[in-house]
Chain A
Amino acid sequence: MTVDLTHKLLSVENLTVSAGSDQLVHGISFEIFRGERVGLIGESGSGKSLTCLSIIGLLDGGLSAEGRIMFHHIPQEPVSPEAETHAHNLLSADENKLSGIRGNRLSMVFQEPMTALNPLMKVGDQLSEVIRLHRPKTKDLKAEVVQLLSSVQIPNPVHTATVYPHQMSGGQRQRIMLAMAMANGPDLLLADEPTTALDVTVQKRVLNLMAEQVESAGSSLLFITHDLGVVSEVCDRVIIMRHGRIVESGPMERVFTAPEHPYTRSLLAASSLETHPGTQRLVTLESASADEAGTQESFEPTSAPPPRTATERHQPRVEHLTMTSGGEAPVFNRVDDPVISVRDLTRTYGKPRLFGRNNPVQALRGVSFDVALGQRFGIVGESGCGKSTLLRLLTALDEPTTGSIEVSGSSIVGRPERQLRWLRESMQLVFQDPMGSLDPRMNVTEIIAEPMHRASRAERRFRVDELLEQVGLPAGSAEKYPHEFSGGQRQRIAIARALVTRPKILIADEAVSALDVSVRAQVLNLLDDLVDEYQLTLVFVSHDLNVVRHTCDVVAVMNGGRVIECGPADAVMESPHHPYTAELVAAIPRLREGAS
């Protein structure tokens, strides 16, 4: 279906959302036409989700929306002249009216597929409920549910209707959510970050499916996301939001190729990991706090610092190897004098018990690789590929079933904790979740200086101040607590904490995955500087191939508990040998051709 610019479907007029006296969305207005697919883009705190929840009338109790959200009736064929003027203001409609519209003409897919379905109700029943609710006269509910399930490409739909959500994968659950939202052929589908929690290959399939479903039902789509790549796969027009205001909107091609607003330009640059020519540093926004006042001039990318001195790091040549099917797993990235050396590592979970079945899970099935001194070693893989297990073994938080791990020439397998103190000092971790990985009851000084048992007060203070400066946090941060910082700042604290022991190896586990793109660029730049300054060997684990490519020299791709391909990051990305790597590379959502 083509976009019908003569028929407005939804017009948001001067929408304001506030929590008490605190205004979060400042009088925004936009329209969606019939069959149009609009992307609403913004970073966290931009008000994009609040806008979406205002439309469907499900804002949390403490929030209030003002303005008008007109939902226009689709004229029946043939078009009657008076039908055009018929519209409801969703903000002033009563609960009766709204519940008749929700799930029927206006439906929504949420971000988190793991928790958005009722865990105690069979999938088929949850689907039939939404049909029965709005079309009580439907005769063969069961057949319709099966039909819906197969339309979202769920294998074996008759059986699937009788299982519970916890028996399905995240991707499957999101298909169920999509089926539920599309069950009554809505006029408008709201999708709030529907694929953010999914792996890239799954994301690709769900996005295609969503586009297909919206197309065939002739629905309009409002797609809320922070990911510009994802938007460019599904939308015709984009609206860019920041701090509760719309900064730019227009046809996607135009906005992505010729952005007018400096923020849009920076966002595009940060999303595609654009670097300053010459320095190889990522383009970032000015630090977010500086432009809190909304001055537009500060959106300009930061001026480039002098070129990196250690660009020509001495690196051993890396062989590009692929796992051969059926054959012995090769030793990937073999070097003469490795810092980390892993051989034939396996880890099997599950032990026989007195009663009950024993279902051993092979999380790692024979992994061998080296990491050279000063190397930046990336590990990429989707959920369940074994990368978390590998990390737990590398950091001696868990014991392998078989195989060996040597760090700086000493084995770390089968050692009691007291013999691993040197490892705890020389190897440090930065975790994914900047909110959960810092103790909320310790202040920044206590967090960073915790390992400095024997140091005097003055020494601790000196080192903490030094680190805070290195990670770019204001000097006054030392006495503050984690909740007083933003996500990006907390990740800086986590990095400072990791560096306090002057480790030789830094392991970053999805360290930038939870950050907004603009913050991500800043933290990546910071990591880059610190790796040089501290002469670190970096093991960088991520699901995001682009980030790994930018950050790492060597990348190992994991799948099904094995490393299946390993080589120089650029070579692996540009000419993947293994079919799985090729699929992974192809699934990355990209800004449309010419956009970046």
Chain B
Amino acid sequence: MLLNVIRRLGVFALTVFVASVVVFFLLGILPGDPARAQLGLQASEEQVQALRQQLGVDRPLPVRYFEWITGFFTGDMGVSYASRTPVAPQVLDALQVTLLLVVGGIGVAVLIALPLGILAAVRHHRPDGTLFSALSQLGISIPNFLAGLLLIAVFSVALGWLPSGGWQPPVAGVDFLRHIALPALALGLVNGAILARYTRAAVLEVMREDFMRTARAKGLKPGAALVRHGLRNALVPVVTVTSIEFANLIIGAVVIETVFVIPGLGSTLIRAVANRDLIMIQSIVMCVVVLVLLVNLLVDLLRPVIDPRLRSAS
């Protein structure tokens, strides 16, 4: 068990390293000089050279990589090429916002998916079960920015219950909740629909298992058998899919942040791309990569907790 944890951690560290190399060098060899982008086409070659020196982009890539990666993990991500201010505080602020949004989205997704998926499975031969399935199918086919716009149209414009955009930090309490509600809902709806289909399939499969019949033969009623023996078994694939969905959700957040004008990673990233602020882009992408890998690591460690068969297997 401990050995397994150590092995997973080793693989995690290795993956982070490889990812950082890919992120840094791939973005580093992209055309477009940050100094030239800052100074405009009118600037002389000397001015550009001077700025390149000042920004440190004249040095060889490996040296810059080493500086960047050590800085990244010690909290010093360097200075933005565009605003000449430290990158770290901006990225961390944006990360905090996006993380809240994504966690909210996952929460919404799970809250929708589990009941909907289980009901659709249990009542799969009845009209309402079929209706739930159809609803989730519909949910999958709606792009999340459209869901966001529809939610704004209904809850902000027509009903006026919730703000149509902007952001408040968690310390703002109710105001925070009012601001996060619609974007989290927009983000979670679509992923919830996808997750609901996986949940339905997992529960349906588990209901056909021999041990469910054993549970009934013991004297458990159908509902109790499902709760006590079925759900935990169905949870194993659902947890795995949720962790994969997490990466999707971060991508989705980029779009949703733009729709709701939220100062998260997505909007920061879009601004950085527009400014050719290479170091900012690298840091943001790296943050997302580490985040996704971390969630996968957590799920990998969590699965043996749910399923004892995975404990002795590795």
Contact = CB atoms under 8 A, between A and B. Distances in A.
Interface of A: 56, 58, 61, 95-96, 99-104, 107-108, 110, 112, 115-121, 129-130, 133-134, 164, 166-167, 177, 180-181, 355-357
Contacts of A117: 211, 214
Nearest to A131: B218
Q: Which of A96, A121, A181, A356: most chain B CB closer than 10 A?
A: A121
B218 A129 contact: yes
Nearest to B209: A115
B220 A355 contact: no
B216 interface: yes
Contact of A61 (B3, B125, B209, B211): B125
A133 B211 contact: no
A421 to B, nearest CB: 38
B171 interface: no
Contacts of B306: 120
B314 A115 contact: no
B106 to A, nearest CB: 24
Nearest to A354: B7
A133 B209 contact: no
A115 B217 contact: no
Contacts of B271: none
B306 to A, nearest CB: 7
Given A118-B229, A119-B211, A166 B308 contact: yes
B219 A115 contact: no
Interface string B215-254: 1111111100000110011000000000000000000000
Contact of B214 (A104, A116, A357): A116
Contacts of A129: 218, 228
B217 A107 contact: yes
Contacts of A120: 232-233, 306-308
B158 interface: no
20 contacts: A56-B217, A58-B217, A95-B221, A99-B216, A99-B220, A102-B216, A102-B219, A107-B217, A116-B210, A116-B211, A117-B211, A118-B211, A119-B211, A133-B218, A133-B220, A164-B308, A355-B3, A355-B7, A356-B4, A357-B3
B309 interface: yes
B6 interface: yes
A118 B215 contact: yes
A100 B221 CA distance: 9
Contacts of B308: 119-120, 164, 166
Interface of B: 3-4, 6-7, 10, 125, 209-211, 213-222, 228-229, 232-233, 306-309, 312, 314
Contacts of B219: 99-104, 130, 133-134
Given A110-B214, A118-B214, A118-B233, 7 more contacts: A102-B217, A103-B218, A107-B217, A119-B211, A119-B308, A120-B308, A133-B219
Nearest to A100: B219
A115 B7 CA distance: 30
Contact of A110 (B4, B213, B222, B314): B213
A148 to B, nearest CB: 13
Contacts of A108: 217
B114 to A, nearest CB: 17
B100 to A, nearest CB: 33
> Which 9 A-B pairs rank lowest in CB-CB distance, beginning with the nearest?
A103-B219, A103-B218, A115-B210, A102-B219, A164-B308, A355-B7, A130-B218, A118-B211, A116-B210
Contacts of A102: 216-219
Contacts of A133: 218-220
A356 B3 CA distance: 7
Contacts of B220: 99, 103, 133
A61 B222 CA distance: 13
Contacts of B210: 110, 112, 115-116
Contacts of B125: 61
A179 B235 CA distance: 28
Nearest to A95: B221
A169 B13 CA distance: 38
B41 to A, nearest CB: 54
Nearest to B212: A118
B218 A166 contact: no
B183 to A, nearest CB: 36
Contacts of A177: 214
Nearest to A167: B312
A227 B47 CA distance: 94
B10 to A, nearest CB: 7
Contacts of A357: 3
A75 B129 CA distance: 45
B126 to A, nearest CB: 11
A58 B211 contact: no
Q: Which of B125, B216, B312: most chain A CB closer than 10 A?
A: B216
Contacts of A96: 221
A115 B309 CA distance: 13
B311 to A, nearest CB: 9
B287 to A, nearest CB: 29
Given A110-B213, A164-B309, A180 B10 contact: no
Nearest to B207: A61
A31 B125 CA distance: 35
Given A61-B125, A164-B309, A167-B312, A121 B217 contact: no
Contacts of B307: 119-120
B222 A119 contact: no
B12 to A, nearest CB: 13
A356 B7 contact: yes
Nearest to B233: A120
Contact of A119 (B215, B233, B314): B233
Nearest to A357: B3
Contacts of B309: 119, 164, 166
Contacts of A166: 308-309, 312
Contacts of B3: 355-357
Nearest to B219: A103
Contacts of A118: 211, 214-215, 229, 233
A101 B222 CA distance: 14
A58 B216 contact: yes
A129 B219 CA distance: 10
Nearest to A130: B218
A110 B218 CA distance: 12
A117 B309 CA distance: 13
A134 B218 CA distance: 9
Q: Which of A95, A108, A119, A134: most chain B CB closer than 10 A?
A: A119
